[in-house]
Chains A and B, each alone.
Chain A
């Protein structure tokens, strides 16, 4: 029975490693390739830590089972009488602290370059693409009129949408995040972006989408009973299409409902919005 339990305690780490190993194949893993530069760096860092942690995990679990196994076999006589070893203590203090120091310092740049505001590219921070206001339970989006710069306070010619955030690809952009009521969090898993929306605060988010496409936007901070259903999309498109989209939006918003026929691009754009 004793040996059974030894096997039991080595069996589960093996299973854990196997499950983790096959998880990407089973699609129990990242939702997709990261769509942003910071995303790739986050993933790289994740894998680096994963390797380190896996080595430590396997090492400690094997050590644990090894001492259990020898302990099970030792049934005669007295146990080893020792109160510890100064040398071992020194080794297993210094080695982990070295590793931890390495991990800490290694990641600082990623954080600094993407999150600390003073390092944001000037062009991006001066002309935010849009303002996103999270509310129970939707995302309201405000763009500046084409050719204008987003102001902190709403302007008469601003353009509005709900739950569809259009952004241009292939350049660093800034989104201004607000909350209209309680706390929310702007989470785009494919882009590896997350930022809490705090009532009373305007928080810039910096990112650069590399590939056009639709990305799921979800809320990651409990905001009430409908928290789970704040489903929305980030629609990334090349700069020119993005500009067309804004133009279309402007025409639609300014359309008085009397003129014979809306501008051609509008019809097309409304269709796209409705899709």
Chain B
């Protein structure tokens, strides 16, 4: 399993590059994993702007409730450009939907997974290139149906969690009609797209590693992608099934989720003996693992970036791998923590509480190891480093706020308040998205053979970081003050009235942060054409991706890579003239060619 027959593995290289591809084959319906990765990246960056705009709509309403929105207001249904209550429900529903299903999941697995997996394991492409292409193109029906759903009753408005009966009965809300069916359809398409990716990644990582690339020589990024693909493969079918059941309830009058005798909005009483909680179980059985799908690849990428930037081996490689696996494993038995007060048997809540507390442990171990990785390294704050450090710093907050909610009695109070909103933005934006910003800057030279601008990158980081914390840190306080989430006008309630100024401050921060993303996009686009050109290995990295030309040709490597060691041999005493030792560097066997772990102790004494 560890090594493959090199002849078989690299036979593909010779097929490539001999025949000219048309523009459409090369850049649009491409089967090249790099192009597909870049297609995913650009699509998700555009979707990031869409999702951000929806979020600013939400923030506008919270800061200036029922007031006319300048310019953008004309897109909303109520007269005069004010956001109506149903438009508000649609806004946060679609904000979350776009960010989760069209930004974070596809940018990690789709963009970076596609681009990096073959390059980092030494394969010439994915195992199933056509399937790979389809996984990108299946995103478009999803985008289409999400987009179309806006035109039916103002758009889906049952939250990204789509709890029935709000999402099951068309009478329940203006957006619960056709729009909701389209939403479910679109999520199914995204699921199909993810599943095709997942199967591909698993096969590729298991079967197509370069000679010498054992499992424990794989970079953390690959481990992150690998474990994520496993999570997707096992969790997604449940969501898809649940989605079909809900569609059936809506369209074919089945009653999986609909109990008997419910009268919604003066419609006829419902028939059937369904159970709405079933949806929550199925949904969170997918969506809790999904929050790790939205995190583990970023954890992996940050591990690689920190190690490279600090010129230092990753601290505790194996504990890092094991804790990632533990997160994934435990991730399947904690879904009930979203349902502590849902009416699920409270005794069951206790079990889920214990498993949820336990999942904080591997998260803590990872954090300590990141700090250990920086420790003793050489720190030069470039954009990559800044974003990676921000990842660690923000992840600490998100992990710690998780403990409050895992404590069942405390969750009675803070469930469905802004505390939850603070929590998941710290992990999903604070951690994952900062990790992605770093990763864009880090692997950009490999994608396009040019560097991104550092100054712009730093300004973007600064504004985003300040805006982010200004927007989301106060949400912890709002939660403690008891402000429920998803309220179009919290100030209707006397005990929340005094929170308006705070919300206005947060909205200002959010606007700054939103507009800062223009810098990212501008930097990205301009650097494709005008960035300074670079060679293969601009960061002096060790991984196989730096062994390939920048940008890599079809088939990736001009010389088939052979792997001699793990990816983290920075500052190795085995070489004197440089502080990195690539996975492909062959050292003549003067000293016995040992695994570097063994030489750890003597090298340390040499250093200090």
Check: B477 CB closer than 8 A to any chain A CB. Answer: yes
Check: B8 CB closer than 8 A to any chain A CB. Answer: no
- Determine whether the beta carbon of B492 is less than 8 Å from that of A231: yes
- Determine whether the beta carbon of A198 is less than 8 Å from that of B393: no
| Bound CA–CA A217/B174 (angstroms) | 26
Interface string of B359-375 (1 = CB under 8 A from A): 01100110111011011
Q: In the complex, which residues 387-425 of chain B have their Cβ closer than 8 Å to any Cβ of chain A?
A: 389-390, 392-393, 396-397, 400-401, 403-404, 407-410, 412-413, 415-417
| Bound CA–CA A190/B164 (angstroms) | 29
Number of interface residues of B (CB under 8 A): 121
- Determine whether the beta carbon of B277 is less than 8 Å from that of A60: no
- Determine whether the beta carbon of B403 is less than 8 Å from that of A200: no
Q: How far is the CB of B425 from chain A (nearest CB, A)?
A: 14
| A79 touches which of B157, B376, B393, B469 (Cβ 8 Å) | B376
| B410 touches which of A46, A56, A77, A79 (Cβ 8 Å) | A46
> Of all chain A residues, which has the CB nearest B158?
A222
With a 10 A CB-CB cut-off, give which of A71, A181, A189, A199 has the most chain B CB atoms: A199
- Determine whether the beta carbon of A80 is less than 8 Å from that of B607: yes
- Determine whether the beta carbon of B600 is less than 8 Å from that of A82: yes
> Given the interface contacts A81-B313, A97-B361, does A89 sit within 8 Å of B415 by beta carbon?
no
Determine the chain A residues whose CB is within 8 A of the CB of B129 once the complex forms.
none
- Determine whether the beta carbon of B260 is less than 8 Å from that of A200: yes
Interface string of A212-223 (1 = CB under 8 A from B): 000010111111
Check: A237 CB closer than 8 A to any chain B CB. Answer: no
> Of all chain B residues, which has the CB nearest A197?
B343
| Bound CA–CA A70/B378 (angstroms) | 8
> Given the interface contacts A79-B570, A81-B313, A114-B409, does A49 sit within 8 Å of B163 by beta carbon?
no
- Determine whether the beta carbon of A84 is less than 8 Å from that of B372: yes
Q: How far is the CB of A89 from chain B (nearest CB, A)?
A: 5
Check: B292 CB closer than 8 A to any chain A CB. Answer: no
- Determine whether the beta carbon of A227 is less than 8 Å from that of B487: yes
> Of all chain A residues, which has the CB nearest B385?
A5
- Determine whether the beta carbon of B571 is less than 8 Å from that of A115: no
- Determine whether the beta carbon of A64 is less than 8 Å from that of B393: yes
- Determine whether the beta carbon of A38 is less than 8 Å from that of B265: no
- Determine whether the beta carbon of B346 is less than 8 Å from that of A117: yes
Check: B262 CB closer than 8 A to any chain A CB. Answer: yes
- Determine whether the beta carbon of A104 is less than 8 Å from that of B473: no
Q: In the complex, which residues 1-53 of chain A have their Cβ closer than 8 Å to any Cβ of chain B?
A: 1-2, 5, 9, 12-13, 16, 19-20, 23, 27-31, 38, 41-42, 45-46, 49-50, 52-53
Check: B316 CB closer than 8 A to any chain A CB. Answer: yes
> Given the interface contacts A56-B400, A216-B495, A220-B484, does A68 sit within 8 Å of B379 by beta carbon?
yes
Check: A182 CB closer than 8 A to any chain B CB. Answer: yes
> Of all chain B residues, which has the CB nearest A41?
B409
Q: In the complex, which residues 200-256 of chain B have their Cβ closer than 8 Å to any Cβ of chain A?
A: none
Q: How far is the CB of B232 from chain A (nearest CB, A)?
A: 27
- Determine whether the beta carbon of A182 is less than 8 Å from that of B264: yes
| Bound CA–CA A27/B413 (angstroms) | 17
With a 10 A CB-CB cut-off, give which of B350, B408, B413 has the most chain A CB atoms: B413
| Bound CA–CA A61/B365 (angstroms) | 15
Interface string of A106-126 (1 = CB under 8 A from B): 011011101111000000000
- Determine whether the beta carbon of A81 is less than 8 Å from that of B310: no
Interface string of A66-88 (1 = CB under 8 A from B): 01101110110111111111001
Determine the chain A residues whose CB is within 8 A of the CB of B390 once the complex forms.
9
- Determine whether the beta carbon of A180 is less than 8 Å from that of B353: no
| B415 touches which of A16, A83, A220 (Cβ 8 Å) | A220
Check: B597 CB closer than 8 A to any chain A CB. Answer: yes
- Determine whether the beta carbon of B413 is less than 8 Å from that of A42: yes
| Bound CA–CA A45/B409 (angstroms) | 8
> Given the interface contacts A81-B313, A194-B412, does A224 sit within 8 Å of B494 by beta carbon?
no
Check: B7 CB closer than 8 A to any chain A CB. Answer: no
Check: B603 CB closer than 8 A to any chain A CB. Answer: yes
| Bound CA–CA A114/B474 (angstroms) | 30
Determine the chain A residues whose CB is within 8 A of the CB of B531 once the complex forms.
none
- Determine whether the beta carbon of B371 is less than 8 Å from that of A64: yes
Check: B311 CB closer than 8 A to any chain A CB. Answer: yes
Determine the chain A residues whose CB is within 8 A of the CB of B353 once the complex forms.
104, 107, 111
| Bound CA–CA A2/B379 (angstroms) | 8
Binds A, one of B120-128, B165-173, B535-543, B545-553: B165-173
- Determine whether the beta carbon of A27 is less than 8 Å from that of B498: yes
> Of all chain B residues, which has the CB nearest A185?
B416
- Determine whether the beta carbon of A183 is less than 8 Å from that of B166: yes
Q: How far is the CB of B471 from chain A (nearest CB, A)?
A: 13
| B490 touches which of A5, A81, A200, A228 (Cβ 8 Å) | A228
- Determine whether the beta carbon of B409 is less than 8 Å from that of A107: yes
| Bound CA–CA A54/B314 (angstroms) | 27
- Determine whether the beta carbon of B393 is less than 8 Å from that of A187: no
| Bound CA–CA A96/B402 (angstroms) | 14
| Bound CA–CA A1/B477 (angstroms) | 33
Q: How far is the CB of B481 from chain A (nearest CB, A)?
A: 6
> Of all chain A residues, which has the CB nearest B489?
A228
- Determine whether the beta carbon of A82 is less than 8 Å from that of B376: yes
- Determine whether the beta carbon of B473 is less than 8 Å from that of A16: yes
Q: How far is the CB of B64 from chain A (nearest CB, A)?
A: 15
Determine the chain A residues whose CB is within 8 A of the CB of B163 once the complex forms.
183, 221-222
Check: B585 CB closer than 8 A to any chain A CB. Answer: no
Determine the chain B residues whose CB is within 8 A of the CB of A240 once the complex forms.
none
Check: A275 CB closer than 8 A to any chain B CB. Answer: no
Determine the chain A residues whose CB is within 8 A of the CB of B158 once the complex forms.
222
- Determine whether the beta carbon of B360 is less than 8 Å from that of A100: yes
| B407 touches which of A2, A45, A203, A222 (Cβ 8 Å) | A45
> Of all chain A residues, which has the CB nearest B490?
A228
Check: A193 CB closer than 8 A to any chain B CB. Answer: yes
- Determine whether the beta carbon of A196 is less than 8 Å from that of B573: no
Determine the chain B residues whose CB is within 8 A of the CB of A19 once the complex forms.
473-474, 477
Determine the chain B residues whose CB is within 8 A of the CB of A97 once the complex forms.
358, 361
> Given the interface contacts A110-B409, A194-B413, does A64 sit within 8 Å of B404 by beta carbon?
no
> Of all chain B residues, which has the CB nearest A30?
B480
Q: In the complex, which residues 451-493 of chain B have their Cβ closer than 8 Å to any Cβ of chain A?
A: 465, 469, 473-474, 476-478, 480-482, 484, 486-490, 492-493
> Given the interface contacts A53-B400, A53-B404, A57-B396, does A111 sit within 8 Å of B495 by beta carbon?
no
Interface string of A165-205 (1 = CB under 8 A from B): 00000000000000011110101011011111111110100
Q: Which 3 A-B pairs have the closest CB atoms?
A: A200-B259, A80-B376, A71-B379
Give me the interface of B with A, judged by CB distance under 8 Å. Answer: 84-86, 88-89, 157-159, 163-166, 169, 172-174, 259-265, 274-277, 310-319, 341-343, 346-347, 349-350, 353-354, 357-358, 360-361, 364-365, 367-369, 371-372, 374-381, 386, 389-390, 392-393, 396-397, 400-401, 403-404, 407-410, 412-413, 415-417, 465, 469, 473-474, 476-478, 480-482, 484, 486-490, 492-495, 498-499, 502, 568, 570-573, 579, 596-597, 600, 603-604, 607-608
Q: A28-B477, A192-B413, A227-B488 are in contact. List 19 more A-B contacts (CB 8 A).
A: A38-B409, A53-B400, A64-B393, A67-B371, A71-B379, A81-B570, A83-B317, A84-B316, A92-B365, A100-B360, A111-B349, A136-B265, A182-B166, A183-B163, A200-B275, A220-B416, A222-B158, A225-B174, A228-B486
Give me the interface of A with B, judged by CB distance under 8 Å. Answer: 1-2, 5, 9, 12-13, 16, 19-20, 23, 27-31, 38, 41-42, 45-46, 49-50, 52-53, 56-57, 60-61, 63-64, 67-68, 70-72, 74-75, 77-85, 88-89, 92-93, 96-97, 100-101, 103-104, 107-108, 110-112, 114-117, 136, 180-183, 185, 187, 189-190, 192-201, 203, 216, 218-229, 231
> Could you name 7 residue pairs across A and B whose Cβ atoms are closer than 8 Å?
A9-B389, A28-B499, A75-B378, A78-B579, A79-B579, A83-B568, A199-B276
